[in-house]
Amino acid sequence: MLLAAASGKGKSTLLSLIAGLMEPDAGTIEVAGRNIHSLSGAARDHFRGKHVGMIFQTFNLLQGFSALENVMAALMFGESSPRQQAERAGELLSSLGIQRHSAKVETLSVGQQQRVAVARAVAARPELVLADEPTASLDPANAQSAMTLIQDACRANNAALLCVSHDPAMWARFERKEQL
């Protein structure tokens, strides 16, 4: 699903509400059949780590960590052992065309960093992936290929994708679109 709105209309705020990072003033938000705001503290954080993946415009990768560690980080707050984390992260990175798993993320190209960010978002096999302007800083050609990557990854991992974008070029790629 694509959510479109002009700047300042609250797209990012809505994503933060869905992820349980902000408290709603009224109403309820259900994620994977669960009212995320009925959970408190660590339980909500755990729920988010397990059921919600997030992709950001500037990737927000952990600087100083390798590509593999960045993806493993999405699994470390769950029940996976470090070995299981490494196996899953390695598979994902390879499937997304990243060969230098141990390279520090800051040494990777922008395109490779985006792939790492996508791998991290789907690593925990979440039901929902939230993408906040994931192509805003890319040129039109790269934006299309990046979105293809995100959609393919979500499809491959059976995750619903809620993408916030004000780029009209992305509209055609989504079956469902909403305007704020």
Where on the chain is the footprint of another protein (CB under 8 A)? 12-13, 16, 19, 21-22, 41-42, 45-46, 48-50, 54, 56-58, 60-65, 69, 72-78, 82, 85, 120, 124, 132-133, 136-137
Do 121 and 50 contact (CB within 8 A), yes or no? no
Q: Pick the closer one to another protein by CB: 50 or 115.
A: 50
Q: Pick the closer one to another protein by CB: 75 or 108.
A: 75
**Minimum distance, C-beta of residue 175 to another protein, in the bound complex (Å):** 26
| Cβ neighbours of 74 (radius 10 Å) | 24
**Minimum distance, C-beta of residue 1 to another protein, in the bound complex (Å):** 20
Q: Pick the closer one to another protein by CB: 59 or 174.
A: 59
Q: Pick the closer one to another protein by CB: 2 or 123.
A: 123
Query: What is the 8-class DSSP label of residue 86?
Result: H
Q: Pick the closer one to another protein by CB: 56 or 173.
A: 56
DSSP 17-71: HHTTSS--SSS--EETTEEGGGS-HHHHHHHHHHHEEEEETT----TTSBHHHHH
**Minimum distance, C-beta of residue 27 to another protein, in the bound complex (Å):** 18
**Minimum distance, C-beta of residue 22 to another protein, in the bound complex (Å):** 6
The 3-state DSSP class for residue 128 equals strand
Q: Of 42, 43, 92, 46, which Cα lies nearest the Cα of 69?
A: 92
Strand 52-56, strand 128-132: pairing: parallel
**Minimum distance, C-beta of residue 71 to another protein, in the bound complex (Å):** 9
The position carrying tokens 């993320």 is: 105
